[in-house]
Amino acid sequence: MFKGFNVHGVPSGFDALQKCNDHLFDLVIMDVRMPGISGVETIRQIKELLSYCPKFIVMSAFVIEELKEEAFRLGVVDFFSKPLQIPLLLESIEKVFSSGRRLA
């Protein structure tokens, strides 16, 4: 539990797919570079394979404009460069939960 949110961590895109298949999440915060498959590809697969779609926030130490643009085309609500500024991330999370329907 972090700031009233239930939080799950996973080490890879494949694990994120499995976790999202097993649980209904309102929000997924994902790094672009992960073992196995990229964060952007993971988002694409979550959207294609699952019967629900959480909101996504993406972060990366390597901001490649093409990946950033692709993430936004996939519906990502925010994109952060590393190092993360935690207050800005928390503000973005709060916006997600104040502006829309929650799954659970």
Rounded to whole angstroms, how far apart are CA atoms 71 and 65? 10
Name the CATH superfamily housing domain 13-99. Response regulator (3.40.50.2300)
Any idea which residue has 């993430």 for tokens?
71
**Where along the chain do its domains lie?**
13-99
CB 74 within 8 A of CB 43: yes
Cα separation, 76 vs 60, whole angstroms: 13
pLDDT at 1 (0 to 100): 57
Is the whole-model pTM more than 0.95?
Answer: no
Amino acid at 5: F
pLDDT digit string, tens, across residues 52-77: 889 999 999 887 788 888 889 999 99
**Within 10 A of 92 (CB to CB), how many other CB atoms are there?**
17
Q: How far apart are CA 45 and CA 59, in angstroms?
A: 18
